[in-house]
Amino acid sequence: MIHKVEMDWGGRTLSLETGKIAGRANGAVWARYADTIVLVTACRSHRAGDRDFLPLTVEYREKAYAAGRIPGNFFKREGRMGEKETLSARMIDHMIRPLFPKKFRYEVQVFVTVLSADGDNDADIAGMVGASASLLISDIPFQGPIAALRVGRVDGDLIVNPTKDQIAESDMDLIISGDRESIGTVEGGAEEISEAALLEALEFAHENMQEVLDLQEELAKKAGRDKMEYVAPEIDADLAEAVEAAAAERISAANRSGDRDKRGELIEQMEAEVAAELAEKFPDAGKDIGELLYNLTKADMRQMVLKDKKRIDGRAVDEVREISCEVDILPRAHGSSLFNRGQTQALCTATLGNKFDEKMIDDLRGKAFKSYYLDYNFPSYSTNEVSFPRGPGRREIGHGHLAEKALEPVIPAVDSFPYTLRLVADIQSSNGSTSMATVCGCSMAMMAAGVPMKAAVTASGVGLISEGDDYVILTDILGDEDFLGDMDLKVAGTEEGITAVQMENKIAGIRLEILEEALERARAGRMHILKSMNACIDRPRADLSEFAPRIEYIKIDPSKIGAVIGPGGRMIREIEKTGASVAVDDDGTITVSAVEATAAAAARDMIESITADAVIDKEYEGTVKRIMPFGAFVEILPGKEGLLHVSELDHHRVENVEDVVAEGDKVAVKVLDIDNAGKIRLSRKALLPKG
């Protein structure tokens, strides 16, 4: 049976429908917002797995036909997820993951398929709402609903789900999820907005998502299945008591050892000893013992913070780890820096390129080119682990995107800085907040490269430990504090305001009053970090690196583009023999780039010569290209030939043209006339003395 609910949302219709498509899935929702449509399915395995975490996967796939396009790859079909799809999948995962029962071990897959894209309303919002709705109406035990929306601000007015054109004018682009009481996740960028402005946007989003929660519940009443019975497996009480008696004191000592490596060694040693001590009495309980030890370690760390206001590395709750940084660590890179915050270390570089180095994006929104992009790499040695090297995973793509967003507002416009800018962060050591270290390190690398950026950008992570109404906010969280805590809030910005924010949590949501305090704590952390960065480098260098390319623009008449390119590209290849790279746009803009200034100048001179027009009465030194009975054709400018008639060779009568000139000769000539068809008439005798 088909069930459909709908509402007006931001001046467009949002509808949720089930029962028509994908009937065998545990839950399936056809979500439509304006003319953007996604199909979201939720499925679970028939048996619980034996993993110690929720085996949830989210797939987000854009069909090319959704925008009336054919895939541009060699095979002409959709392949692996692109960057945009990966980022959307991560947002949905972060939104729904905290809303499953503890110890739920059935494999769950949420599949979002974009079927129609209207170009104005991005499918990620429909996908997020549809994901919650599909889980809500399924038999999967999901503690929703949860809703999401995009918030923009144009001329000071907040907008629900701004269109593509409105986003272009907006000073913020935030995607926010939440439930009845709190905020679940936040993701997006902004143009140096204040903490107060961000809070206002969060409140605005929370108000405007309530009707969407109502809509999902209405659909669930009409079409929802009975939830499966699920009872979390319990661990034997005698085993739990024995593990606590054997491990509690050793866990407490390890958590208070102050050093991560030492703490890890003590925990590992304790786990082995406790397992050995209890092996005889509980021979098949190895997995349960591991779970109990993890829970005890987590509980002890959380109580340290909540009751004693102590952290596992000895810092105060509002203290930032020790910071050190340097620039120019790589002598041949255009700009480089090494940023250290505690045991987190990022090696960052800035590389300048030309138009050929732009990054091509080809997705539902069409083909586009990015002149600024950031790549984040997280090798296994940064956590002292061994793994097979592979391409960037979802986490690396997500962290890189966040850092890229954070720095984008301070990057100079292309018309004033005609370079392609690639930033790279290679994490050398990881103990929390590597994406925030990336922001700081790449900001310094750009300054070292001489990029005329607007201001330095700093970033800080903030965590939360809570129990009931009691909570403690932690500045600059460690990896273990992120893993064992309730929230990971990342905030980046300049001294003037916020440029990027991301929040994910492990509980149902975060109250606005807690977020207000957390944002202020993040700002204090950022300002502390900025002092250390400024002590290293406080402004962009006046000159670019000597190894960076020199780029200049030349504007020509578009009708002369063919002359610059030449037949089969012959002319442009000749120009590039100077050592310069040349890119030609359809509007007649030519970009010349070269590491050596002399090469750029030589290429510019050639282009100006090729595109120059012959002028009547002007003298030229030309090259004889062809001999005819009636005269010679002389090239006076690249690609421009004129006729030197036999009567204009000399003052006396010339019987044979070859008696005066031969092919390949250099000859001085004067332009006598240019007719309406552009044909040029030349004279040699006009430059010869009479007599």
Q: Tally the C-alpha atoms within 13 A of residue 357's C-alpha that lie toward its C-beta.
A: 19
Lowest mean pLDDT among 4-8, 48-52, 218-222, 653-657: 48-52
Q: Classify domain 3-223 at the CATH topology level.
A: Ribosomal Protein S5; domain 2 (3.30.230)
Q: Classify domain 323-536 at the CATH topology level.
A: Ribosomal Protein S5; domain 2 (3.30.230)
- pLDDT (tens digit per residue) in 64-88: 999 999 988 888 898 889 999 999 9
CATH 3.40.50.10320 fits 619-687, yes or no: no
Domain with CATH 1.10.10.400 in the chain: 237-308
Mean pLDDT of the chain: 93
Confidence at residue 97, expressed as pLDDT on a 0 to 100 scale: 96
Confidence at residue 508, expressed as pLDDT on a 0 to 100 scale: 82
Residue 131 to residues 14, 107, 690: CA-CA distances in angstroms? 14, 16, 92
- pLDDT (tens digit per residue) in 350-383: 999 988 899 998 888 888 899 999 999 999 999 9
Residue 258 has pLDDT above 80, yes or no: no
Residues 515-527 have a mean pLDDT of 97
pTM check: above 0.85: yes
Tell me the backbone φ, ψ of residue 414, rounded to 5 degrees. Answer: -60, -35
Closest CA to 131 of 157, 155, 109: 109
Most confident of 389-393, 453-457, 557-561, 659-663: 453-457
Lowest mean pLDDT among 146-150, 493-497, 599-603: 599-603
237-308, which class in CATH? mainly alpha
The answer to whether 663 touches 655, Cβ cutoff 8 Å, is no
Domain with CATH 3.30.1370.10 in the chain: 550-611
Closest CA to 300 of 263, 249, 245: 249
Confidence at residue 279, expressed as pLDDT on a 0 to 100 scale: 83
Residues 557-581 have a mean pLDDT of 90
Domain with CATH 2.40.50.140 in the chain: 619-687
Question: End-to-end alpha-carbon separation of the chain, Å?
Answer: 107
- pLDDT (tens digit per residue) in 10-58: 999 999 999 999 999 999 999 999 999 999 999 999 988 877 789 999 9
Confidence at residue 611, expressed as pLDDT on a 0 to 100 scale: 86
Q: CA–CA separation, 431 vs 514, rounded Å?
A: 25
Residue 608 has pLDDT above 80, yes or no: yes
Q: Domain 550-611: give its CATH code.
A: 3.30.1370.10
The answer to whether 637 touches 612, Cβ cutoff 8 Å, is yes
The conformation of residue 227, written as its DSSP 8-state character, comes to P
Domain with CATH 3.30.230.70 in the chain: 3-223, 323-536
Residue 183 to residues 484, 513, 619: CA-CA distances in angstroms? 20, 11, 76
What dihedral angle (degrees, nearest 10) is formed by the CA atoms of 520, 522, 528, 529? -160
Confidence at residue 363, expressed as pLDDT on a 0 to 100 scale: 85
Residue 331 has pLDDT above 70, yes or no: yes
Confidence at residue 691, expressed as pLDDT on a 0 to 100 scale: 62
List beta partners, residue 173: 152, 189
- pLDDT (tens digit per residue) in 438-486: 999 999 999 999 999 999 999 999 999 999 889 999 999 998 888 889 9
